[in-house]
Structure 1
């Protein structure tokens, strides 16, 4: 019997994971990528001698990617990982910086120095967080969330009680800690889940366990080396790549996609997996074939977009670590402009990544590669003037903190914002981090992985289960491919019987 033809759209983490899983199960897989290089939001670009990771810079939950490659005896393809110590630093003011040590004993001492008694409370807090992490990763995160019967299991229902879904993260963390400094440090991983801590389920304290206990890591050479490993594994499994292939639509006949139409030609398909933006993929279909209406999408609560700067500097910067969080301005004021009244912030918080502190390969000798990120509301209109304004403000604040001139030493500059997310990734409202992880947008309440009206069209990526982030995206690709493989085998068995 001839192998079934699977077409996967998008060479980001979810698309690559889906392609590898399908190919390993015997599918003839074609992967279509709009850009000339793989990676999706984790693409890399080189400019003026610098190597810039365009997207992810935090490497958390290393067990997820390692476990994926372990299934194929391919861990040797992965780049060397280095655990950062300190994990990062939080700048609360010009002379008020808190480093976050990787060692747990040292971290407890740090907490204790800020708030007496908080070290013992951290033990309790993280023990609960670990239970949530293990329950979520062991019982829930790999579910396709197609039917409630997936969860009708005694062990799963017992595990659900540990997830703390009905209380807010904000209330939960304040049961243990009073110090605003500690609260900001613990709420940091929540910031990019797409809502205020008061609107995020306490379930997500599991991210504190991932941060503190599992650690912050860096793949030597940058995130592009992780993408390279996925591509090599895909090629070993027989996946065929087509780059610069922009998908324009689908031929649908008798309730199935028969061809994927691109500007490079048409590709026949027995099954299609789109890891492109979910909303964009639906727009390529006639309305009667879409899962969701425009009204549905307009009601979704989106996680933030970003204003990004990729900057090369012809000298080293002394006070920066690999990861630097600038929280010297009021969080509530900035958050209001993201989540309540979408607008450009007056005094934004921001993040600076300086990977040269760990990896000399990302910049010419004696120089620095920095990545600046300001979270902003999705859907904003950005202009060159707006980008320049925030760059000038951010660099001035960074100069003040570092105590040295930076702007005169810039030798490479690239900015990236909401309109670029729309243009490059067809991102709904220019979002960078998918849907907000509110209770009403978790599990079954996320957009589904299968098209309800086209039998062989499926969706993967950050807008469906389990959600945004590198590890969830990898898991998302595995989920949809696993579902296709499972149902395909069932259909083959039924046809034989």
Structure 2
């Protein structure tokens, strides 16, 4: 049977679903994406309000290598389709305990910035880069491969990596061998929040996250990160993919344990395979019958360690903040206490950490002339009994606005012209995120690799997962990687040779450093 006679339904038009569709269509498969919202992109999309534009979710665009290769495999160029700015400075860190760090991909300037806080730590920056360059290069083939059982973990080449990966160390412990000043360590570990975890619990492996920023840069897609998924959706349609919007998948259809398509609120769509890009915890409970989930039962999913959530303010304001960096992170004076409130106490901090994206300083398309679009995020506990957002929203909003003065923005209240607020309750209700956890299941050692839901969903035939809930995990680069892994498995199971080949050994350290991109 030819590949053109094979049909795949992708549930969800988020970045993982769109990337899967591109790769499958490139190999000649008939692909239909079903999306319950009125636009593609999922949380990696943009909304407009009163002339201002905001990304819902991701605002840092890192390590474009994976997506660039997916575009190339589909016959397109990421550079041409999605203009990007390489930011310098990458971001500014302001410490509640005093001092700040202006992070830059210029290594000489970065050493000087570290030296302002702790001269003896500056000399270890290059050691950090060298060691993590080696760590990433050696671990990358495993990030690009499926993990379907403990046997994959026990491969000799994986066991040889253990001394380098040091899974018994937390991220903070890993960084102590380079940086004595806790502020510097926080500057190289706050990225664990991309995984919804504390640096004091996150495995030390994830030191590669900050390494990626300093090795390959932090980028801003012109028009916001939503510009990426808008381009992907357009390319999907150019490649013949059908995208059905405003259509909710109610269930995956099965004959025995074999998926045969999906049932939506409007029709039944037959398919040879199904890619589930919807958030795993809620989608599995709703779409896969209980008798096919002996491992991933409703109770079992509920007992997993789920990530934190986020409190969001999207503010359209009068005036510009040209002296404030594109990305600014304020780390609370009692940062450990703030993390405890989020992860253990499940309460709202009196002194929250915040992140502010002032993208208008780089991109005039996001706000009317003379105005600014501000994206303000505070990490918070996922939904729990201790927080009632109907009661707690207004006072917590005031605390978050107060913190903006700590990064030099003064009191923005009188300048607000439009505003939207999202809480964990909104993430749960509007985006079907389990407990409002914006980073899916946490990336603890007992929930990584083969211990996450598998790319080839292990309890059924013909169901494949893409997105942050499966291997390798959350964050845009690894979500795109999940799409590559799952698409390859799907095609193999259908007896189709992929039209693309990603050579794992071809990791090129200069791949993006030499890209001809605009620099802020």
TM-score by length of 1: 0.93
Q: Distance in 1 between matches of 2:176 and 2:168?
A: 15
What's the secondary structure of 1:42's corresponding residue? coil
Q: Which residue of 1 aligns with 2:394?
A: 388
1:73 to 61, 72, 75: 75
Q: Structure 1 residue 77: deviation in Å? A: 4.7
Q: Structure 1 residue 67: deviation in Å? A: 2.1
Q: Structure 1 residue 210: deviation in Å? A: 0.7
Q: Distance in 2 between matches of 1:318 and 1:43?
A: 25
**Greater CA drift, 209-218 or 276-285:** 276-285
What's the secondary structure of 1:302's corresponding residue? coil
Q: Which residue of 1 aligns with 2:516?
A: none
Q: Structure 1 residue 105: deviation in Å? A: 0.4
Q: Structure 1 residue 52: deviation in Å? A: 0.6
Q: Which residue of 2 aligns with 1:475?
A: 481
Q: Structure 1 residue 81: deviation in Å? A: 1.5
What's the secondary structure of 1:306's corresponding residue? strand
Q: Which residue of 1 aligns with 2:135?
A: 132
Residue 343 (str. 1) matches residue 337 (str. 2): no
- Residues 152/183 of structure 1: CA separation in 2 closer, same or farther (3 Å cut): closer
Q: Structure 1 residue 384: deviation in Å? A: 4.0
Note the 1:439-450 alignment, pairs <5 A: 439-450=445-456
What RMSD over aligned residues (CA atoms) do the two structures have, in Å? 2.1
Q: What is the CA deviation profile of residues 95-130 of structure 1, one whole-angstrom value per residue up to 9, with x for unaligned ones?
A: 843321231100011222322232221111221111
Q: What is the CA deviation profile of residues 132-172 of structure 1, one whole-angstrom value per residue up to 9, with x for unaligned ones?
A: 122222x1111121245556765555445432323222212
2:367 to 363, 368, 386: 363
1:421 to 421, 427, 434: 427
**Structure 1 alignment gaps of length 5 or more:** 492-497
Q: Which residue of 1 aligns with 2:514?
A: none
Q: Which residue of 2 aligns with 1:377?
A: 381
What's the secondary structure of 1:235's corresponding residue? helix
Q: Structure 1 residue 59: deviation in Å? A: 1.0
2:120 to 117, 121, 133: 117
**Structure 2 alignment gaps of length 5 or more:** 498-520
Q: Distance in 1 between matches of 2:298 and 2:227?
A: 38
Q: Distance in 2 between matches of 1:297 and 1:218?
A: 35
Whether the 8 Å CA contact 1:279–1:297 is kept in 2: the answer is yes
Q: Distance in 1 between matches of 2:137 and 2:88?
A: 25
Q: Which residue of 2 aligns with 1:143?
A: 145
Q: Structure 1 residue 397: deviation in Å? A: 2.9
Q: Distance in 1 between matches of 2:278 and 2:332?
A: 36
TM-score by length of 2: 0.89
What's the secondary structure of 1:344's corresponding residue? coil
Q: What is the CA deviation profile of residues 59-91 of structure 1, one whole-angstrom value per residue up to 9, with x for unaligned ones?
A: 111222222212233115531121111111112
**Greater CA drift, 270-279 or 255-264:** 255-264
Q: Distance in 1 between matches of 2:496 and 2:397?
A: 55
Q: What is the CA deviation profile of residues 226-257 of structure 1, one whole-angstrom value per residue up to 9, with x for unaligned ones?
A: 11221122122211000001111133223222
- Residues 202/401 of structure 1: CA separation in 2 closer, same or farther (3 Å cut): closer
Residue 107 (str. 1) matches residue 110 (str. 2): yes
**Greater CA drift, 52-61 or 167-176:** 167-176
Q: Which residue of 1 aligns with 2:515?
A: none
What's the secondary structure of 1:37's corresponding residue? coil
